[in-house]
């Protein structure tokens, strides 16, 4: 893994956006895997600014998001369809038929999972996958215990994940209990992976990723099996990550 340490969330956002733009300079007709949640928001803002400055175009890009809640319509303000359109897609030049998310309201959710996998394959596979990491080590919505051989599937969300996402809803009771997510094997098929880690609350998950055993109860450790992973970490997360036998990565 290539580890880059940056100052604060602004530094993380700039570093990540620059990484993505450099990737697109090499291959403008790229297939990007995208993430939601709070961590990539700044990165999307930076990419929008760079697009408006003429530094990057998304006209030839195809995108696939990691996940979507089951049961939320695309127009629901808490759906990831809405999130992506409001925070990113409506501000750049990506054509509407070139960005994709799972359909959380599909009549047959299992069939939708297979359809999504097929569409990714037909588009040529993901060139660069953007990821965040959960406090319990999840990537996408692949909760602890998810098989490393999993493909796009329906998951029951861990209570810690629902609690972490409750800030986006009126009440935790409104947070869906299920979601569609790309599986771990699906994620690992991306040619390159960019993982963003921000905040001291992610320190333990970062420590497990870097120093723990590769095991299914910490899904992010599967990334150690991938040949091309870049991890951008802010100083808060970095300082909170513990090395075995030491207080933290700074040794105190």
Q: How far apart are CA 54 and CA 92, in angstroms?
A: 11
Q: How far apart are CA 109 and CA 180, in angstroms?
A: 8
- Which of 46, 81, 136, 153 is the catalytic position? 136
Residue 71 φ/ψ region, left for φ over 0, alpha for ψ in the -120 to 50 degree band, beta for the rest: left
**Does 165 participate in catalysis according to the annotation?**
no
Cβ atoms of residues 56 and 94 within 8 Å: no
- Which of 46, 112, 143, 204 is the catalytic position? 143
- CA distances 116 to 41, 128, 151, 216, Å, are 24, 17, 10, 24
- Which of 67, 112, 127, 208 is the catalytic position? 67
Q: How many other CB atoms sit within 10 Å of the CB of residue 198?
A: 25
CA 136, 234, 190, 116 dihedral sign is positive
How does strand 178-181 pair with strand 67-69? antiparallel
Q: Radius of gyration of the chain from Cα atoms?
A: 17
**Does 136 participate in catalysis according to the annotation?**
yes
Which among 139, 150, 153, 155 is positioned nearest to 229, based on CA atoms? 139
Encoding tokens for residue 145?
Answer: 């215990």
**Does 138 participate in catalysis according to the annotation?**
yes
**Does 67 participate in catalysis according to the annotation?**
yes
List the catalytic residues: 67, 136, 138, 143
């Amino acid at each position: 893994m290539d580890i880059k340490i940056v100052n604060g969330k602004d530094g993380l956002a700039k570093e990540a956006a620059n990484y993505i733009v450099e990737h697109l300079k090499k291959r403008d007709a790229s297939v990007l895997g995208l993430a939601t949640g709070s961590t990539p928001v700044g990165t999307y803002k930076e990419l929008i600014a760079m697009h408006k400055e003429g530094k990057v175009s998304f006209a030839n890009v195809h995108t696939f998001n990691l996940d979507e809640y089951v049961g939320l319509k695309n127009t629901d303000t808490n759906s990831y369809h809405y999130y992506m359109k409001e925070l990113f897609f409506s501000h750049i030049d990506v054509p509407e038929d070139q960005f994709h998310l799972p359909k959380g309201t599909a009549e047959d959710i299992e069939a939708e999972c297979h359809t999504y996998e097929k569409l990714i394959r037909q588009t040529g596979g993901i060139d660069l996958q953007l990821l965040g990491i959960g406090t319990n080590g999840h990537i996408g919505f692949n909760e602890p215990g998810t098989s490393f051989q999993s493909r796009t599937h329906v998951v029951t969300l861990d209570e810690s994940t629902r609690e972490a996402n409750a800030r986006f809803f009126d009440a935790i009771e409104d947070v869906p209990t299920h979601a569609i997510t790309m599986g771990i094997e699906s994620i690992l098929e991306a040619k390159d992976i960019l993982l963003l880690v921000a905040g001291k609350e992610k320190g333990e998950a970062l420590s497990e990723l870097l120093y723990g055993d590769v095991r299914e109860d910490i899904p992010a450790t599967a990334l150690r099996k991938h040949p091309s992973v870049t991890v951008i970490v802010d100083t808060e997360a970095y300082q909170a990550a513990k090395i075995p036998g030491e207080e933290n990565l700074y040794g105190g």
